[in-house]
């Protein structure tokens, strides 16, 4: 690695060795004595850390600002400078001058297009502070990448082009920053050199942004005029802005005080790992999210609510007397109680809440829309549980913060939603604790991150409604009927023959003396689901309701036949998860579309082709065929009677 640069913009190199470490003659570097070196290293080890992001619209100069900041703070080495100069000549936009943005834009597509696509992280430090900065993309389509960078930041530097003022992305990024709990914002009015450092332009933009910040609830805003390319007001006050009396950007970053969340909270330790190296030791490892812990402290494990006392607090170097927020520790408890990954060890006198239904803000990050009722995995801390969005209360217009009605969320949209979880979790509102209040939604099909959210509060019904124990259970009712409860889920295109086959199976079961019931899609829509249409959202809710009814019927000991198109894999998977292992049998009634269309007993395909029936499955709404059904019936190759016998054989009844 090359030597560190010592003078911005003058081509001088440092006098250090080839490892970038200076000599005793360097200013600020300690003498050669080992004690001095140890003290120097200890000083830099204990410097506070500030994580911040740069965000804003396209071409506002975010990457240039960070690149220039690294350059002027003398944190670049010879090899980095040489590569930067070479890349500037090849890809740069500044002619013969250095293009500082290339320090951050590392992807080929970024350099070709002159934009930032992915979040780029850089580390640098000064004598006063250490920094981790995330350069976030400005394009609307990469808003999810910006949210990723903002999720761990303490401060946001929002860049604005002095020629353009506040743009849509300025509003969007500021809203997301506020949503993700960033309380400190620096408005960097960039490219002041292109407006002749006009004070009136700066004051107008600053006033507009302060109004926006007040509306968003951002408590701390600092406005700084600068030129990232020229270095004005970046690391030191510029003579070209005599009318500006505030600090330079780096001076502000070095001095800003970032308060921790929930500083007065009791212990919060999400368990990441149960450490059991041998039979004589069981420890619970994780990073403390809030509070402090000492040996002898009384704690409670959530959600089980089991209590114990802390026996030992172990750090990286062994046992410690006390540990606080941000430290990675292993706790041992005085009692042998069940603690698993994802549980939360908390102070017994100040525990967090436990609930399974919440109100939350959700930023949608997937190409496929968020549909209420569709199942996802929810990851909060180290805990992963099944979750569904039961209702979208409203969608937030990120430009105006107006609340708009919505039945779905599209990519990069923010909605205020009700969430329902499969199991209770320990939580705190995001505004108080990021670790216990922030979550992501994961697609169950491809395991991709579908959305990110912040919990506001538990819904009251989550604490008021409890499962009522019944003495006569499913097994007792099944024994009474002399049968094993099952659900046969018939799925396929309209006209495939689902209802015909299901009806034949139902007749045969009745003749054999079995207790069965048939839920047909058309019949159910005349009653229970008469309020639902045929949009994707309504189809999801249609299947959710039917799955719950079928589950109640299996609890009654019945064999349930469900005949629904049920076009989406996610909803069929959700239905399957309502039942015990081996209780759900998916029957795929498979015919080519042209065969189903040729049958068209009800004339639906003809109407759909004429545009009279919108969202018709197979025409303008997709059908997702089952990948691994328990029974695959080729309805174009056999009679309904023969196919019904196959179903009965699968039940072991023929």
Copy the structure tokens of residue 577.
């998860």
Across the beta sheet with 559-563, the strand order is 516-520, 559-563, 486-491, 584-590, 631-634
Q: What are the start-end ranges of the E strands in 83-195? A: 120-125, 130-135, 155-161, 184-190
Pairing of strands 220-225, 184-190: parallel
Please choose, from the candidates 452, 386, 454, the residue with its C-alpha nearest in 3D space to the C-alpha of residue 424. 386
Chain centroid to Cα 193, Å, comes to 39
Question: Which of 151, 494, 499, 566 is an active site residue?
Answer: 566
Residues 414, 452 contacting (CB under 8 angstroms): no
Dist CA 646 CA 501 (whole Å): 10
Q: What is the CA radius of gyration of the chain?
A: 31
Copy the structure tokens of residue 514.
């079995």
Dist CA 242 CA 545 (whole Å): 68
Q: What is the largest CA-CA distance in the chain?
A: 100
Whether residue 514 is preceded by a cis peptide bond, meaning omega within 30 degrees of 0, is: no
The SS3 assignment for 597 reads helix
Exposure string over 573-600, b if 16+ CB within 10 A, otherwise e? ebbbebbeeebbbbbbbbbeeeebbebe
C-alpha angle 73-75-79 in degrees, rounded to nearest 5: 140
Q: Residue 345 CB: number of other CB atoms within 10 A? A: 26
Copy the structure tokens of residue 569.
């894999």
Report in angstroms the alpha-carbon separations of 645 from 76, 482, 520. 76, 21, 20
Dist CA 615 CA 621 (whole Å): 5
Copy the structure tokens of residue 198.
């006009």
Residue 566 annotated to the active site: yes
Q: Which residues are catalytic?
A: 566
């Amino acid at each position: 690695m090359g030597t560190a640069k010592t003078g911005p913009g003058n081509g001088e190199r440092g006098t250090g060795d080839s490892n970038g470490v200076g000599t005793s003659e360097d200013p600020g570097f300690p003498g050669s004595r080992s004690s001095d070196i140890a003290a120097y290293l200890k000083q830099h080890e204990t410097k506070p850390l500030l994580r911040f992001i740069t965000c804003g619209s396209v071409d506002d100069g975010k990457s240039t600002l960070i690149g220039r900041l690294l350059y002027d703070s003398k944190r670049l080495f010879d090899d980095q400078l040489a590569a930067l100069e070479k890349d500037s000549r090849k890809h740069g936009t500044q002619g013969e001058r250095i293009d500082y943005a290339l320090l951050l834009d590392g992807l080929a597509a970024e350099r070709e297009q002159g934009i930032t696509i992915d979040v780029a992280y850089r580390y640098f430090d000064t004598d006063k502070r250490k920094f981790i900065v995330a350069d976030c993309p400005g394009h609307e389509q990469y808003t999810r990448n910006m949210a990723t960078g903002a999720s761990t930041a303490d401060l946001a530097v929002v860049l604005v082009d002095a020629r353009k003022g506040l743009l849509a992305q300025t509003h969007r990024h500021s809203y997301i920053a506020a949503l993700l709990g960033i309380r400190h914002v620096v408005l960097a009015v960039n490219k002041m050199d292109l407006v002749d450092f006009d004070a009136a332009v700066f004051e107008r933009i600053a006033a507009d942004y302060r109004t926006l910040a007040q509306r968003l609830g951002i408590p701390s805003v600092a406005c700084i005029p600068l030129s990232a390319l020229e270095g004005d007001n970046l690391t030191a006050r510029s003579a070209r802005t005599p009318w500006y009396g505030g600090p330079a950007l780096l001076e502000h970053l070095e001095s800003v005080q970032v308060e921790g969340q929930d500083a007065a909270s009791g212990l919060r330790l999400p368990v990441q790992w149960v450490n059991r190296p041998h039979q004589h030791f069981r420890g619970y490892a994780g990073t403390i999210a809030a509070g402090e812990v000492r040996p002898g402290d009384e704690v409670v494990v959530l959600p089980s609510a089991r209590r114990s006392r802390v026996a030992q607090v172990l750090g990286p170097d062994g046992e410690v007397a006390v540990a606080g927020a941000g430290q990675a520790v292993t706790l041992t408890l005085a009692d042998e109680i069940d603690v698993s990954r994802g549980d939360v060890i908390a102070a017994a006198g100040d525990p967090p809440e436990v609930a399974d239904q919440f109100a939350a803000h959700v930023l949608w990050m997937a190409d496929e829309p968020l549909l209420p009722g569709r199942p996802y995995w929810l990851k909060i801390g180290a805990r992963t549980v099944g979750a569904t969005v039961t209702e979208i209360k409203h969608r937030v217009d990120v430009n105006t913060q107006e609340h708009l009605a919505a039945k779905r969320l599209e990519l990069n949209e923010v909605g205020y939603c009700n969430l329902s979880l499969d199991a209770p979790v320990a939580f705190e509102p995001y505004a108080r604790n990021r670790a216990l209040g922030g979550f992501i939604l994961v697609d169950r099909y491809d395991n991709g991150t579908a959305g990110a959210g912040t919990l506001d509060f538990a819904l009251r019904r989550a604490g008021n409604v409890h499962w009522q124990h019944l003495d006569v259970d499913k097994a007792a009712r099944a024994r009474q009927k002399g049968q094993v409860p099952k659900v046969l889920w018939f799925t396929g295109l309209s006209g495939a023959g689902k209802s015909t086959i299901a009806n034949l199976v139902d007749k045969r079961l009745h003749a054999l003396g079995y207790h069965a019931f048939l839920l047909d899609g058309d019949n159910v829509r005349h009653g229970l689901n008469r309020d639902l249409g045929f949009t994707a959202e309504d189809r999801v809710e249609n299947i959710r309701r039917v799955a719950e009814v079928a589950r109640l019927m299996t609890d009654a000991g019945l064999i349930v036949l469900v005949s629904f198109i049920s076009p989406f894999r996610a909803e069929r998977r959700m239905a399957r998860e309502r039942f015990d292992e081996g209780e759900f049998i998916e029957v795929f009634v498979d015919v080519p579309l042209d065969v189903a269309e040729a049958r068209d007993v009800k004339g639906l395909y003809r109407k759909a082709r004429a545009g009279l029936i919108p969202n018709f499955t197979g025409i303008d709404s997709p059908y997702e065929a089952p990948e691994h059904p328990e029974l695959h019936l080729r309805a174009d190759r056999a009679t309904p009677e023969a196919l019904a016998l196959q179903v009965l054989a699968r039940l072991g009844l023929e």
